[in-house]
Structure 1
Amino acid sequence: MSKTHLTLSAAALNKQPVPASLGRDNLLSILESVVGPGAFVFSLWALAYYFEGGIYPPYLILSVIVFALTFPGQARLQSSIPGLIADIAVNWAGVAGLLLISGFATGYLREFSKGALITWLWVAPLTELGACFVLRIAAPMLLELQGPRQRAIIVGMNEQGLALADKIKNSPYARIELTGFVDSRSADRLSSPSPQNLLGKLSDLASLVQANRIQLIYLSLPMASQPRILQILDELKDTTASIYFVPDMFVTDLIQGQPGSVCGMPVISVCDTPFKGADGALKRISDVVLSLLILVLISPLLLVIAIAVKMDSSGPVIFKQRRYGQDGEEILIYKFRSMTVTEDGGTIKQAEKNDQRITRLGAFLRRSSLDELPQFVNVLQGRMSIVGPRPHAVAHNELYRKLIKGYMVRHKVKPGITGWAQVNGYRGETRTLDKMQGRIDFDLDYLRNWSLRLDIHIILKTIRLVLKDQQAY
């Protein structure tokens, strides 16, 4: 992919390295990481209140230390009950021993009630054990809340691929549904004696992914297949599936390339979303809070613009158009109508300078970006984000996905009201293929290097640009 358009990489704005993913994108995994530390802290607080009538500073300091020592908690959902009990006992013995030795050496033990500390030594592991049992009971319901399982394909029916398949099938809490394998070898050369789950050959992979609505692809191919792997990656750039390598290998041009694990099997993400686990929650919370605040502040302005649009020309106040959202799913976005037409068909003409379809008021709304304000409602709906790749009309997507390699990768995240490309000179009309290529380069750069700091930078730069930018027609 060409990088000639990138004058400033998003990585240059991130002073701290992106932390390696722990693979905790499952709600159950997130809860597992906090259930143990949380049990220790809340049992300590309960005993402090019982023995001393309140949670005083020494207990608060101890709770912070305990949480720091034990977070993240271990994955124990699939452990046997004897193994679970033994594991909790051994780990707590180590933590409690360290705390007692430190407290005795510093004299800090005198700050606590003797009864509270002695009781906590046996109540804390029992509380963690009880919390683990509660999580096991609630696990099926929590899995249902997360929606349907993600459909997966393993490319390569070899020993490594079959081992991964076995791990997935024996992991009831994994949100993965294995659809089958893809391999071009004949049946007598495959590792499996009965390849009943073989879906097709490597040449059919891209079409199989689209036909079966595959969301996860695990490439289990040997290093000797590197040229073929690169060809496969090129073909899969017209899909929105997340791609992982099994086992480790070096690949250039990664999108959120991070080591992780699937049911204990090591993998490397090749093309994935940056908004997983805590980062995903942080992104969504910031979107909801900011969009609510902005909508409250601009509600009088929205009413004035709505009345002005209605008086300026005939037609609806709000223009609705189909766009591609996250994972390539169609969404409806809202804008104040700025043209005499409301095109949403198979062919859509981009607005140009001095376009006769633009109304008198519409020219001002588009130049000032006020026509985009209703999209904060889309953000609240969860269809869009405040910052992300700008959504294109469906007709434009179908055109450019065939002309620009990696075009569909930008749909790994929710589209945004503003984006990294827009604040770097790619706002408004993209008359040539070269300009659209530049916009896509910046969109992918955003995916590789996302941080909350980058989002804030884009928002502030957008505010400055809309006051003087004349590129939007």
Structure 2
Amino acid sequence: MQLEVKVSTNSPSDRPTKPLRKAAAVRHVEPSPPRFVEIIRVDPVYSILTMLMDAGYAALSVLIAHWWIPGALEQDRNLALYSWLFVPIVVVVMTLRGLYRQKLSHGFLDEFEPVETSIALSALGLLLIMVLFVPRLTPEQAGAIYLRPSDLVLRIWVCAAVLIPAIRLLRSFLNRWLRRRFHVGVPALVIGSGPVAHQLITRMREVKEYGLWPAGVLDDLRPNESERFEIPYLGTTGNLESAVKATRAEELIVAPSSLPDEQLARVAKQAQQLGLRVRVVPRLMDAVGTSTTIEHLGGVPLMVLNRVDPKGWQFTVKHAFDRTAALLGLLLISPLLAVLALAVKLSSPGPALYSQDRIGRDGKVFGCLKFRSMRLDDENNVQFEPEHGAAPGGVEGEDRRTWIGKIMRRTSLDELPQLINVLRGQMSLVGPRPERPEFVELFEMHVRRYGERHRVKAGMTGWAQVHGLRGQTSIADRAEWDNYYIDNWSLMLDFRILLLTILAVLRPIEN
């Protein structure tokens, strides 16, 4: 069978683009946000507002804790007075942990653990101050109600551990809404005109939650016809100052290019003098993960690349957890599985389950289980022929879905039998989604780093899927997100993906 699959390969020639035009002729128009939104999105206003919100809810936590112990604090006013130190302590701890800095796509789940840890540390600090420095009443002086410092601090900590993350969750929702509704973000200039520059521009446009939008491109070599952008080419790096004035840019992103490192360093320093925040894409971008650190040998910065070993003990723990969770999950949802199996049998003739060959870890083929969601053209054949020229996923060819099949596809319930694959050790709860052998061979030839997805077990859900890459979406984008997951894997990341999967299922797509 000859396949003609439409995939994105992060190559400039593969993307439909418009011809380059002068900056005056091309301007990417965005909805204008209200004036107050423009004011609060910039630092230091944004950081100050966030700090004030945290301080306000920390103070509310102290008030609730006082109300929680009626009468006791009236007897022991020393504790009541010193308890207000919790407010400045929690603000200082969060400041030291960098929780008031604006970051790209830094959502609620990213900061939940640091916020809760900061609150706990602040409570411990308050308790230490109270034990060491607060004059204490004896039980006789306190009368019927004797209050220990730990009693008060425990209540403050419980209140703050709920209230402060809650207001940050509300802020996260508000940020996302503003960025999607008004494209609230900062204009950014990009240096470079290669595939990485294209990728950056595409990501800024597609994922508005990053809070950036591309205002123009600078490069000493004018992009040729095969390297077209939909944003203006603003000239060479020597035009940086005029480009900043013309676009009112606040960010500069330096992508890998043919320019000498010394010249790029000078441009970066000039951008900082102009008030821009500079972000640099490392030349070894495929090897740089979130755990990468910076050290200095004399005055030379060194990037320390931490490696994730898919065959190490951490993944052994992951797989043990997978099998345990799969067993418990099968036991808990067995009534649901029985109801779905019966509905499939009643909807059309044929088996309730079917097994389809997929590629798993190290390129091994396994039978991926699903509930049958389509009528069978031939009762002895459950292999579905994809439509010529279509990417895999979703409805391929004639729509033969049954009524229960449409429901299961929309809610991903047809994937539940894959818990059996997880229990067998063929799959994981979280990992790259497995693909059919015939497509894998094709994608490995055309999609950058596609084969590296098979370093780990395939998953029921993955980092790509919770970012909207379900159904007939870009294979290159999936490979990019999947390899990010592998290179930056942690149990916490798995837990985050499982939570996001629940939210993704609540926003079903047409399959």
Same fold (TM over 0.5): no
What TM-score does the superposition give when structure 1 sets the normalisation length?
0.43
